[in-house]
Amino acid sequence: MHTLTVSEMSAGLRARKFSSLELTLHLLGRIERLGPGLNAFVTVTADRALADARAADERNAKGDGGPLTGVPVAHKDIFCTDGILTTCASRMLSNFVAPYDATVVRKWREAGTVLLGKTNMDEFAMGSSNETSFYGPVRNPWDHARVPGGSSGGSAAAVAARLAPIASGTDTGGSIRQPAALTNLTGLKPTYGRVSRYGMVAFASSLDQAGVLARSAEDAALLLEAMAGFDPNDSTSVDTPVPRYTAELKQPLQGLRIGLIKEFFGEGLDPAVERCVRGAIALLQREGAVVKDVSLPSLPLSVPTYYVVAPAECSSNLSRFDGVRFGHRCEQPKDLLDLYRRSRGEGFGDEVKRRIMTGTYVLSAGYYDAYYLKAQKCRALIAGDFARAFGEVDVVLSPTSPTAAFKLGAKTSDPIAMYLNDIYSIAANLAGLPGISIPCGFINDAGTELPVGMQLVGPHFGESRLLSVSHQYQLRTEWHKRAPKGYA
Amino acid sequence: MNWETVIGLEIHAQLATRSKIFSGSPTAFGAEPNTQANLVDLGYPGVLPVLNAEAVRMAIRFGVATGAKVARRSVFARKNYFYPDLPKGYQISQYERPVVEDGSLDIVLDDGTRKTIGITRAHLEEDAGKSLHEDFHGLSGIDLNRAGTPLLEIVSEPELRSAREAVAYMKKIHTLVRYLDICDGNMQEGSFRCDANVSVRPVGQAEFGTRAEIKNLNSFRFVERAINYEIERQIELIEGGGTVVQETRLYDPDKGETRPMRSKEEANDYRYFPDPDLLPLAIEEATIDEVRRSMPELPDEKARRFVREHGLSDYDAGVLTASKELAQYYETVVAELGSQAKLAANWVMGDLAGALNRDNLDVTQSRVSAGSLAGLLTRIVDDTISGKIAKEVFEAMWSEGRDADAIIEAKGLKQITDTSAIERAIEDVMSRNPGQLAEYRSGKDKLFGFFVGQVMKATGGKANPGQLNELLKRKLSG
Amino acid sequence: MSLTRNQVEGIARLARLEITEAQMPVYVDSLSRIIDFVEQLAAADTADVEPMAHPLAQQVQRLRPDEVTETDRRDKYQHNAPSVAAGLYLVPKVIE
């Protein structure tokens, strides 16, 4: 049962081939058996899952279930879940029981999904390897010695290992797309504002966006439909109708104009990764897509721009963690300053502290113009480059990540090397554009098979196109169907 | 050396919305601690602010009323600092692009001249909670009910030159926000308070001196005292060879002095930046026009009308329009009376104001309604009672709650207008005072008043004064 | 090093983060490297470029009607609080 995609599970449930309870029990069994080796979950909500499954079975029996009624899911532990621990993989929130559901959680619940648990992640979503979690690193199911990517690494590992058919993630600079690429999944980051941020613990508010890690574009379309839409609780969510993404998957490749981002096929890209991506491009061309090179000359600014904007916003967003109303509080504070400094010093891990300090610095008096304001201007240049490119092509294409999954610990001592993992993914966040990573081949690294992903980025609210291109590609390829050894 | 004082005020007016500026929590004063603080007000992880339309409309009203520019685009920013009553670790405010800019207001100085005070800007922001210091074994308790209450911060130009001017300006703003129905003006509850930036410089010097900011002044009296204390302190300091340091100070009303705020000792670096959770606030020209059309008559306009139509003096018109409720009371009296605006004004500013003041009441709580007062004044106009008797009737109305006619009737205060009755009283007084009569008739005119008093006394004050005068003159001259 | 130890201590104080003596050099080093890295933005030509605060430039703030939608849920919300008494959140003495 665990090898089924969401679409297949949905069909099976409706045809009464199995019940949601059977499906849920089966997956909970796998999580219990295989989960700890991967460290994919922070919290497994077995009781809640069983209750959800029974309720779903009743609805389905009465015939008033929807396509997702009874489908098990997992949420990244950054989404608030009413009555359930919501930790952001931080010591700061290791005792935090959210008193409300995030909009994404509520929407998936209302669609009838079954909550299996909360997945591990980089602390407060700050990381590209899932090594900054207070609960320890997540392992890549393709090779336990390697990282699954981050920050949605727990969601990626859980879905890749077939512990959950689909999981939510968040993407601030590549945190859905990069782990999807490193674990052979389809990872979609929607347009900024397409999905409500309400209840998603904020990292960088102008960049954060919720999305999905799935085993196919079709599944991603199905779950995006259930999570997208305007939310009166989020001023930045956009009030435009949500298309029927699943109905639009049939759009043909014929005539599709693809731009290859010149700046993302150069130095630093692993040639083996490039070969996989070039192979995919050739296939798309054979199927009628028109491919041309496009230059987006400001894109090399995206990583430094991001490492001003994101830390600035995070330094402010994380000020609420002060040991007063929730979260970690130090023992015996001797005065107010001590309460703040020790609660925060103890509650946050190194990378989070580093980013808070970077952000504090770039916003501080005398430095604001040189860093923050400058970065906002560079951000405008990057967005302008994309806008120009979308005058010529429908989507732009690049590798998702310069390399396949790397070894645990390989980059932890060098923050810049770690940040450069997201060199191809960050620009989409800065411009607020939708992006998707889909499996496009494997490389062999000293006898280990490792998946490679390619990224498509579209114009604002171009999710339909990204999903249909991915779906059409997946109809013609088998890469996305491959499972890691031991998890098939 | 002669010193000039430079003062700028930052007035915080709590906007009278039902719900908070960024959440649906109630804003009522006095609830149990933290029962009016929801997830947004508490700064819970994951929650987001959504702006209250009414708070924006109120800011526009203020802008239109002060002839300011209402920004078509303004931006919310985060002011970052740690304090227990600030749940998010930042206050959502407006920094570089406020909603209102470049307004002004006229104040009347002690010598009766008018002075225009510039309003640099007015911006929307959220209030903080409160720290309570009592009874927690050396700990402070935090109540976040007030957190997220909408504030309009109104920043004046540094154009005020004395504590009196500062108070006049603050009172004028207080009057205005209440006319506009955007703030209840309740200073005890902290709905209207200010920070004062005070500096001194030698007369004739162009540059400003170093200023001190006195925080959280919540009464007009404190504003005046705190500023005066601060002026003295700065002058003494400079004349004693010291220098003023730029700092934040707190006024202690018990000691009558200002002192530096400990919590602000560390130089603050607020790291303002645009709040990414909120988009630019757009205000359409049509919205501003609509607000302009619905604008009530403002205090200055109303005062001008009272001068023009009622023939009042500038001073009287100013006093009567100082609160919307007082002006309304006065206008009701005039309307009922049909004319005699000056009489109505004198009574409202005199006996009524005196009684309200004595009993510490607001005009809306007056024991004598505008209609009843008009009833009393009607009896003066139609000569039923004299002005003097009317004062007595008013006091009875105030304490007994009955209307004028009932009291006049019950107490038999009706004026004597019967000529023969007055003549009888005059003759009686003349016969009892032959000495004075002789003196008067030999040219001592001053004694006329003596006879008026005696006759009044004899008639229990009820003789019609006009008739009395006339008859007395005739009788005395023989 | 683009940042001095003194500067990093100042930043940590402003951000209310206790950094241990042992960790301080690590932060001085890594923060310096990050600042050096983002320094490359200085070379970008941004003359006449409007700063971009938000990814969807045309969007403006939506307003909420002035309605009370919340009821008292203090007990539930204070469930996560480390120290409360009489409905108040307790902290070491606040000195104004």
Q: Pick B468 or C17 by higher pLDDT.
A: C17
Per-residue pLDDT tens digits for B290-305: 999 999 999 999 999 9
What average pLDDT does range B420-426 have in this prediction? 85
Q: What share of chain C is helix, strand, coil (3-state, %, to 5)?
A: 35, 10, 55
Bridge partners (DSSP) listed for residue B195? B10
φ, ψ at A211 (rounded to 5°): -160, -160
Q: Which chains touch A (3 or more CB pairs under 8 A)?
A: B, C
Strands A186-189 and A114-119: unpaired
Catalytic residue among A128, A151, A168, A401: A151
Residue A29 pLDDT exceeds 70 = yes
Q: What is the mean pLDDT of chain B?
A: 93
Structure tokens at B302: 């109303």
Q: Pick A214 or B109 by higher pLDDT.
A: A214
Contact status, residue A303 vs residue A423, Cβ threshold 8 Å = yes
Task: Give me the residue from C38, C49, C50 closest to A307, CB to CB.
Answer: C38
C-alpha to C-alpha distance for B328 and A437, rounded to whole angstroms: 69
- Work out the angle between the directed axes of helices B163-179 and B299-310 (0-180°, nearest 10): 90
Q: Which range, of B198-207, B275-284, B417-426, averages the lowest pLDDT?
A: B417-426
What average pLDDT does range A151-170 have in this prediction? 98
What average pLDDT does range C1-29 have in this prediction? 95
**A and C: number of Cβ contacts within 8 A:** 176
Bridge partners (DSSP) listed for residue A290? A257
C-alpha to C-alpha distance for A108 and A225, rounded to whole angstroms: 10
Residue B54 pLDDT exceeds 60 = yes
**A and B: number of Cβ contacts within 8 A:** 99
What average pLDDT does range B167-178 have in this prediction? 97
Q: What is the mean pLDDT of chain A?
A: 97
Amino acid at A102: A
> A124 by DSSP, 3-state: which?
helix
End-to-end CA distance of chain A: 11
C-alpha to C-alpha distance for B337 and B348, rounded to whole angstroms: 13
- Whole-number percent of chain A with pLDDT over 70: 100
C-alpha to C-alpha distance for B279 and C54, rounded to whole angstroms: 8
Nearest chain A Cα to B82, which residue? Answer: A319
User: What integer pLDDT is reported at residue A320 of this predicted model?
Assistant: 98
B87 to chain A: which residues are within 8 Å by CB?
Answer: 320, 324-325
Torsion over CA: B300, B305, B307, B310 (sign): negative
End-to-end CA distance of chain C: 38
Q: Which range, of A28-42, B148-162, B175-189, B447-461, averages the lowest pLDDT?
A: B447-461
Chain B closest-CA separation from residue C58 CA (Å): 9
User: What integer pLDDT is reported at residue B469 of this predicted model?
Assistant: 86
Amino acid at C33: R
- Binary contact (C90, B56; C-beta < 8 A): no
Contacting C residues, span 11-70, partner chain A, CB-CB under 8 Å:
11-20, 23, 26-27, 30-31, 33-35, 37-42, 44, 46, 49-57, 59, 61-62, 64
- Best interface-test mutation with B: which of C7, C54, C72, C88 has the largest number of B CBs within 10 A? C88
User: What integer pLDDT is reported at residue B424 of this predicted model?
Assistant: 86
Per-residue pLDDT tens digits for A443-481: 999 899 999 999 999 999 999 999 999 999 999 999 999
Per-residue pLDDT tens digits for B354-408: 999 999 999 999 999 999 999 999 999 988 888 888 999 999 999 998 899 888 8
- Work out the angle between the directed axes of helices A217-227 and A6-14 (0-180°, nearest 10): 70
CA distances from A254 to A139, A149, A278, B126, B200 (A): 39, 33, 18, 54, 77
A368 inside 8 A of chain B by CB = yes
What average pLDDT does range B15-20 have in this prediction? 98
B136 inside 8 A of chain C by CB = yes
ipTM over cut 0.90: yes
Residue B192 pLDDT exceeds 60 = yes
Three-state SS for chain B is CCEEEEEEEEEEEECCCCECCCCCCECCCCCCCCCCCCCCCCCCCCCCCCEEHHHHHHHHHHHHHCCCEECCEECEEEEECCCCCCCCCEEEEECCCCCEEEEEEEEECCCCCEEEEEEEEEEEEECCCEEECCCCCCEEEEECCCCCCEEEEEEECCCECCHHHHHHHHHHHHHHHHHCCCCCCCCCCCCEEEEEEEEEEECCCCCCCCCEEEEEECCHHHHHHHHHHHHHHHHHHHHCCCCCCCEEEEEECCCCEEEECHHHCCCCCCCCEECCCCCCEECCHHHHHHHHHCCCCCHHHHHHHHHHHHCCCHHHHHHHCCCHHHHHHHHHHHHHHCCCHHHHHHHHHHHHHHHHHHCCCCHHHCCCCHHHHHHHHHHHHCCCCCHHHHHHHHHHHHHHCCCHHHHHHHHCCCCECCHHHHHHHHHHHHHHCHHHHHHHHCCCHHHHHHHHHHHHHHCCCCECHHHHHHHHHHHHCC
Residue A66 pLDDT exceeds 60 = yes
Q: Which range, of A208-222, A239-253, A267-281, B248-262, averages the lowest pLDDT?
A: B248-262
C-alpha to C-alpha distance for B91 and B74, rounded to whole angstroms: 16
Catalytic residue list contains A319 = no
What average pLDDT does range C4-26 have in this prediction? 96
Query: Would you place residue B265 in the very low, low, confident or very high pLDDT band (cuts 50, 70, 90)?
Result: low
User: What integer pLDDT is reported at residue B442 of this predicted model?
Assistant: 86
Catalytic residue list contains A206 = no
What average pLDDT does range A404-427 have in this prediction? 93
Q: Is A18 exposed, middle or buried (0-12, 13-18, 19+ CB in 10 A)?
A: middle
CA A461, distance to chain mean position in Å, is: 17
Per-residue pLDDT tens digits for B437-465: 888 888 888 888 898 888 888 888 888 88
Q: Pick B464 or A13 by higher pLDDT.
A: A13
Catalytic residue among A175, A216, A237, A437: A175
- Binary contact (B140, C65; C-beta < 8 A): no
- Best interface-test mutation with C: which of A302, A357, A414 has the largest number of C CBs within 10 A? A357
- Binary contact (B280, C91; C-beta < 8 A): no
Nearest to A209 by CA among A181, A249, A172: A172
Q: Which fold has domain C5-43?
A: Histone, subunit A (1.10.20)
User: What integer pLDDT is reported at residue C63 of this predicted model?
Assistant: 97
C-alpha to C-alpha distance for B430 and B239, rounded to whole angstroms: 72
CA distances from A30 to A25, A161, B11, B75 (A): 9, 9, 63, 50
Q: Which residue has the tokens 């029974």?
A: A54
CA distances from A83 to A86, A202, C80 (A): 9, 19, 11
- Binary contact (C51, A361; C-beta < 8 A): no
What average pLDDT does range B72-76 have in this prediction? 97
Q: For domain A6-255, give the CATH number.
A: 3.90.1300.10
Domain ranges of chain C: 5-43
- Whole-number percent of chain B with pLDDT over 90: 76
Angle (nearest 5°) at CA A431 between A371 and A455: 120
Catalytic residue list contains A76 = yes
User: What integer pLDDT is reported at residue B364 of this predicted model?
Assistant: 92
- Whole-number percent of chain B with pLDDT over 70: 99
Structure tokens at B265: 């000792």
Per-residue pLDDT tens digits for A263-275: 999 989 999 999 9
Nearest chain B Cα to C83, which residue? Answer: B141
C-alpha to C-alpha distance for C94 and B85, rounded to whole angstroms: 10
Torsion over CA: A253, A257, A259, A260 (sign): positive
C64 to chain B: which residues are within 8 Å by CB?
Answer: 24, 50-53
Residue A71 pLDDT exceeds 90 = yes
A209 to chain C: which residues are within 8 Å by CB?
Answer: none
Chain C closest-CA separation from residue B97 CA (Å): 13
Per-residue pLDDT tens digits for A96-148: 999 999 999 999 999 999 999 999 999 999 999 999 999 999 999 999 999 99
